[in-house]
Amino acid sequence: MAEYVQLGAVKTWYDEVGEGTPLVLMHGGLVDARFFAANIGALAEHFHVYTPERRGHGHTPDVEGPISYQVMADDTIAFLETVVGEPADLVGHSDGAFIAMLIAMQRPELVKRLVLISGGFNKSGEAGPEMEWDVDQIAQFLGPAYGEVSPDGEEHFKVVATKIGEMAAKEPNLQASELGVITARTLVMFSDDDLVTLAHAVEMYDAIPGAEFAVVPGTSHFLTQEKPDLVNRIVLDFLTKDPIPTIAGIRRPPHFDLPADS
């Protein structure tokens, strides 16, 4: 049942569905939990799924001051501590993926497993660095959906989009070497035509110890909606099964016995 919880200055909206161990879905920038509509049902068959919406997104009102990844990570940490109350699986898309990454780096005891979908670790990986942050154009695309649920009204969307644009002009800004502190079992997932280059995605995969890697073919940055069944199967395979013993691993040492006469 959807409800609000006061977390510091933020009146955070969230919904929850399903039973089992906790899984927190973390939406992308300037959208909300409805963008996971095609994924929640499949995940809720196995997990207790929480769908919090961050400050200035969806049903959660904006608050005074700038928005940064660290501020949103702190908000989410408060949600994990106050509402979830135990280590959870984090599945993040786009901005949500980077925030999930920050939480796994800073508060590893709160994270069981980590699924990072279409979220890079610094701006060097942008596939279209020349793209302009056009608030009016973004408002035409996303403003009406924002206005359907935001307590601040559709007219406030440009305020939030401006804040996110100011953040996106300089963040994220981690170095690959910093990702080595992540201890949670991690799945790195991108589309084959994403806002982040595949070279950057591979660099991210290489930097996170023991990470697993998936590329969803024929999709864009909105892969969770474009091929939800495939995305759901990959995510659930990762979250519900232990790593298998591979036969000819290079990154992960193989675990098999050769025949005696080989």
Q: With the CA atoms of 26, 27, 28 and 34 taken in that order, what torsion angle do they form, in degrees rounded to the nearest 10?
A: 180
Q: b vs e for 198-219, b when ≥16 Cβ sit within 10 Å of the residue's Cβ?
A: eebbebbbebbeebbbbbbeeb
Confidence (pLDDT) at 262: 44
- Domains of the chain from N-terminus onward: 3-240 (3.40.50.1820)
Instruction: Compute the distance between CA of residue 226 and CA of residue 213 in angstroms, rounded to an integer.
Output: 19
Confidence (pLDDT) at 84: 98
What are the start-end ranges of the H helices in the chain? Answer: 37-44, 69-79, 95-106, 135-149, 157-168, 198-207, 223-226, 228-240
Could you tell me the pTM of the whole model?
0.95
Distances (CA, A) of 93 to 90, 168, 184, 231: 10, 15, 17, 12
Walk along the chain (262 residues) and give the pLDDT tens digit of each residue. 899 999 999 999 999 999 999 999 999 999 999 999 999 999 999 999 999 999 999 999 999 999 999 999 999 999 999 999 999 999 999 999 999 999 999 999 999 999 999 999 999 999 988 888 999 999 999 999 999 999 999 999 999 999 999 999 999 999 999 999 999 999 999 999 999 999 999 999 999 999 999 999 999 999 999 999 999 999 999 999 999 988 888 887 766 555 555 4
Give the H/E segment covering residue 48. Answer: strand 48-53
Q: In this structure, are residues 119 and 187 in contact, taking their beta carbons and an 8 Å threshold?
A: no
Confidence (pLDDT) at 33: 98
Phi, psi of 13 (to 5 degrees): -90, 140
Confidence (pLDDT) at 169: 94
Instruction: Compute the distance between CA of residue 111 and CA of residue 160 in angstroms, rounded to an integer.
Output: 28
